[in-house]
Amino acid sequence: MVRFKNRYVLCELLSDDPRCRHCIEDRAVGLAVRDAIGRVHGDYGLACCSISFTVKYLNAYTGTVLLRCRKDSYRLLCSALPFVRFLESRAQRYPCALNTLHVGGTIRTCQKFLIQYNRRQLVMLLQNCTNEEERQCIQKSLLSCSLTEEQSQSGDEEDDDGTE
């Protein structure tokens, strides 16, 4: 049995219209990306990318999208992402763009990158704060985004099961 290697492309959905983020679905993102691949690379590129292409994760609130494709064709996918100009959802077109943040071999590496990326964004927001209330809110968010805190919480839950 042969194992097919995949690549995971972490993207950020950028749009001026805040309604766009709440109305997007993974199906709409997948169709828009496939359409862009077809326009840029033709039938050959579309066939190469469509073999195992899926939208693995979509967070409508943060605009984070995780796409999976075969290792052989991830460059075709990444080169077509800037050509996504709109999303069609519920019979409406929303202008948007996909910004590639990271390409990884596993979902876990993409998650680690996303945590570090969000931490850097929060630090930048912290530097641009205007009052003390905003600063405290951002500091609280900054302290709460770490993998070690999540791991220690899951370890505490295992101890509470009474398996001592």
pLDDT at res. 22: 78
pLDDT at position 114 is 92
CA proximity to 110, closest of 102, 118, 98: 102
- Please tell me the total number of residues recorded for the chain in this structure: 164
Query: Is the CB of residue 56 less than 8 Å from the CB of residue 49?
Result: no
The pTM assigned to this predicted structure is 0.77
pLDDT, position 158: 42
pLDDT, tens digit (0-9, with 9 covering 90-100), for 75-109: 999 999 999 998 887 788 888 899 999 999 999 99
As given in the structure block, the two tokens for residue 44 are: 């050959």
Q: For the chain, give every domain's residue range.
A: 1-105, 107-145
Kindly report the number of other CB atoms within 10 A of residue 13's CB atom.
Answer: 22
Class of domain 1-105: alpha beta
Strand, helix or coil at 1? coil
